[in-house]
Structure formats: structure tokens, C-alpha cells
Amino acid sequence: MKKCPSCHYQVNTADLRCPECGTYYSKIIELIEQEVADEEKYTIRARYRRILAAKTIKQGLLSEFSFINSELSQQAKWVLLVIFIFIFALVFAV
């Protein structure tokens, strides 16, 4: 048994929320905050902020490109290459 951090009610260790006051336990709150931070890391807004926060725009763009490149699998890189070649062929075939 452990105590609720808000009301000090004796709670079961398997519970995620205090049955007395309804407060979520700190571990749940930490997990939710971590999930929000991870989601924020991959948004366009976060990428834009990191580019603007860099010393130069070029350095920010290169760091974002290397970050994206490290996250992609070989198959995804191949698919992107084929798409770019297809678009290039369509644009210059006219």
C-alpha cells in the first residue's frame, strides 16, 4: 500500500488514480508529459523553431536534414529517391 500525494489516502499500488480525490499519480503525469514532449519534437512548428534557434539558417536546416535522415529506414530513403526522380522526369519531360 502507498499513499496518495494529495490527500494521503491509502491506495492500492495497481491504481493509476486516487479513488478518494481523483488525483493522478506522479508517474502517470511524468509519462504524459514525456509523450507530449516526444510529439512536440516531431511537429513542423518544433522543427521550424529549432531551425530559427540555430546560429545560422543553413546550420539549422542541415541539422534537421541529418535528424530526418537518421530516422528514415533504407526502404523509406529509396522510396523518396524514386518519388523525386519521378517528379523531376515529369517536370523536365515537357
pLDDT tens by residue, 3-61: 676 677 776 666 667 777 777 666 666 777 788 888 877 888 888 888 999 999 999 99
Q: Do 46 and 88 belong to one domain?
A: yes
pLDDT higher than 80, residue 70: yes
pLDDT at 78 (0 to 100): 94
Tell me, yes or no, whether 30 and 47 share the same domain.
no
By residue range, what is the domain housing residue 6? 2-34
Rounded CA-CA distance 59/55 in Å is 7
Which pLDDT score, from 0 to 100, does residue 81 have?
94
Measured between alpha carbons, how far is 40 from 36 in angstroms, rounded to an integer? 6
Q: Is residue 53 domain-shared with residue 20, that is, in the same domain? A: no
Counting the structural domains of the chain, the total is 2
- Asked whether the predicted pLDDT for residue 62 surpasses 90, the reply is yes
Q: Are residues 55 and 83 in the same domain?
A: yes
Identify whether residues 25 and 64 lie together within a single domain. Answer: no
Residues 80 and 53 in one domain: yes
pTM of the model: 0.46
Which three three-digit cell numbers place residue 49?
523553431
